[in-house]
Structure 1
Amino acid sequence: MSSSAILDAHQTAQALPYLALTQEIEALLQDPTVAVPPRIVQALHGGGSLFVMPAADARVAITKLISFIPTNAQRGLPTIQGDIVVFDVQTGQRIGLLDGPTVTARRTAAVSLLAAQHLAPRRDGPMLIVGAGVQGRAHLEAFHEGLGVQEFWIASRSASSADALVAHARSLGLQAQRVDDPNAALADCPWVVSATPAQEVVLSAPPHSDAFVAAVGAFTPRMVEWSAPVCQHLARTGTLVVDTRDADHEAGDLLQAGIDVAALPTLADVVGQTARWQNAHRPQGGPVFFKSCGWGGWDLAAARCMAQGIAVSSAPQG
């Protein structure tokens, strides 16, 4: 392939429909050619981080280069910025450049969606989204498209941000309302997504007894959204699953609660029905807490999805 697709944020989103991306993530988890070395996280002066995340399979190779500046919200700037470069493994040619924040939002929501497809104890009732930023919006769209969720309760430190996401949901024909106390709302919501800046504990009440929780805001050992007592309660009464083994040293909520993250099953264990998952699964029920920290493999799945779309569009018509 001689040409390179350079996609802006809108084009990147168009290349990554949620259902196709979720299917690609599931396929990647069963692909033995996938190689994802540990990501490099360089601390920056002022509290930010620079992430360098390579990954490859038999067809494509990527490097994701993004910055995370949590204080950018006060500057009116995105907290995540950067790009993903996609290469053809056989020729070494660059075949694509994807908008990093868009990929991060969509693949994270797609990973949560895949986990919910396999793990959610029930499929009815409203979804509580805590954090009305980019990830909150992506999860709203993904769970509506992928699982048909029709009702959303939105909580945010910023009432205007919550109202904006409520308005977006209503523009899609969905039911939505702002809630000012997310801890009180937990008792009524069998779906929960926490996507806050994760600079402090926001959720200190236990979720519904048969809830599915996707906790995506905290992705370093210092970050936290859920209180230690709640995490310990979930470890006793429910099922804890992490996205990858990288969470062993990155899942701030669980690590700060003193939980042995390395003993928990991963999403790959769930998809593959491994012995680790079978041993961890609790048939008596209880809430499911899916802790997502991010992984270069999810970005590789997005690159595969994009490359497949390019291949289809460039195939000769007959």
Structure 2
Amino acid sequence: MLLAPSLTSLGVLDAAATAARLPWSDLADEIAALLQDHTVAVPPRAVLPLAQGGSLFVMPATDQSVAMTKLITFTPGNAGTGRPSIQGDVVVFDIATGERRLVLDGPTVTARRTAAVSLLAARHLAQTPQGPLLIVGAGVQGLAHAEAFIHGLGVREVWIASRSSASAEALAAQVRALGAQVRVVADADAAVPHCPLIATCTTASAVVLSAPPRPDAFVAAVGAFTPAMAELAPALCQHAARHGRIVVDTSDALHEAGDLLQAGLDVAALPTLADVVSGLSAAAPTHHSGPVLFKSCGWAGWDLAAARLALRHASPTTSATRSSTTTPA
């Protein structure tokens, strides 16, 4: 009797198999390479509002050999229900043949490439990359950033702040399993003076961080991705602009970086991560040069980098588990 081919053999990867193809350091390296690849084309993403406050995201991108589209739904109403806020897939095609090569788990790609972008930025911009690291928000992006910074920067101490103590303790257990020391704190602002690395990874429905960062701080803000959303207080952003520097992930932040727009900053004048990676920006840290705020809004190019890497990596494991994240773009 002939057996039906498995989904994995057909190139449809679940969450675990997708993650296995996207190691942290390799993914950060692939993102850096993509930023210097002039064949990459990324049109604006399409965002279709859905009933009951949800959104459908369609995010295509291509280079000279690979084309992909991320198709995901973002459903804020799923928070706290046990259902993922983000669901969907990344479909990867070979340009020469038109063949569909892979279908990757969309939430897993989103989580890993977002944290890998923060890792790449920290490699270039963090003055004290060993940490401690403060994570604000105990969702999937909080765990992804902890993993990325532990594996990619050698961080060994992580502080966690969340509106939900149960979520904070659950994330703390996961981070301890990675070999890091963990401290759960009730007040994120009170932890800021102790942590030169900060990642805000919330749903960005309200400001979660107000305290001005220390002079050697690197802050990655990844939760807000529309003009109406903000994790950081305007005064914090203005402090970073006056006393340090601000870098955005792409020029799309001009229309999407709610934290910076609500602070009244000229987002169009800010350097991008591509400027930093290519050495075209003066944003690289110098001794006592002030805090660095890295504002990440998301870009289909990051998903293309993940697709390129996934095509090259063999998948050692599979699982039926799907994952979720709180940063859809």
TM range (shorter): over 0.9
Which residue does the alignment assign to 2:61?
55
- What is the deviation of 1:131? 0.3
Q: 1:286 aligns with which of 282, 287, 290?
A: 290
Taking the aligned partners of 1:139 and 1:233, their CA distance within structure 2 comes to 24
Taking the aligned partners of 1:116 and 1:70, their CA distance within structure 2 comes to 29
Contact 1:126 1:189 in 2 (8 A): yes
1:162 aligns with 2:168: yes
Which residue does the alignment assign to 2:121?
115
Taking the aligned partners of 1:300 and 1:76, their CA distance within structure 2 comes to 29
Structure 2 CA distance for partners of 1:192 and 1:49, relative to 1, 3 Å: same
Query: Which of 1 and 2 has higher RCO (CA within 8 Å, sep 6+)?
Result: 2
Gaps of 5+ in 1: 312-318
Which has a greater percent of helix? 1
Which residue does the alignment assign to 2:241?
235
Amino acid paired to 2:232: W
- What is the deviation of 1:175? 0.2
Contact 2:130 2:154 in 1 (8 A): no
Contact 1:85 1:98 in 2 (8 A): yes
Q: 2:205 aligns with which of 187, 199, 208?
A: 199
Give the secondary structure class of the aligned counterpart of 1:223.
coil
- What is the deviation of 1:16? 0.5
Structure 2 CA distance for partners of 1:238 and 1:32, relative to 1, 3 Å: same
Gaps of 5+ in 2: 1-8, 316-329
- What is the deviation of 1:125? 3.4
Amino acid paired to 1:62: M
Equivalent positions of 1:64-79 (< 5 A) are 64-79=70-85
Which residue does the alignment assign to 2:4?
none
How many pairs are equivalent?
A: 306
Taking the aligned partners of 2:57 and 2:85, their CA distance within structure 1 comes to 13
Taking the aligned partners of 1:208 and 1:48, their CA distance within structure 2 comes to 37
1:300 aligns with 2:311: no
Taking the aligned partners of 1:263 and 1:30, their CA distance within structure 2 comes to 21
Taking the aligned partners of 1:310 and 1:233, their CA distance within structure 2 comes to 45
TM-score of the superposition, structure 1-length normalised? 0.94
Contact 2:137 2:201 in 1 (8 A): yes
Q: 1:139 aligns with which of 125, 145, 159?
A: 145
Tell me the alpha carbon deviations over residues 181-228 of structure 1, each in whole angstroms, 9 at most, x when there is no partner.
001101110000000110011111111221000000001111110011
Which residue does the alignment assign to 1:244?
250
Structure 1 stretches of 4+ moved >2 Å: 280-284
Contact 2:202 2:223 in 1 (8 A): yes
Equivalent positions of 1:1-318 (< 5 A) are 4-274=10-280, 277-278=281-282, 283=286, 285-310=289-314
Taking the aligned partners of 1:261 and 1:298, their CA distance within structure 2 comes to 20
Seq. identity, %: 64
Contact 1:52 1:63 in 2 (8 A): yes
Taking the aligned partners of 2:129 and 2:110, their CA distance within structure 1 comes to 26
TM-score of the superposition, structure 2-length normalised? 0.91
Contact 2:127 2:285 in 1 (8 A): no
Give the secondary structure class of the aligned counterpart of 2:274.
helix
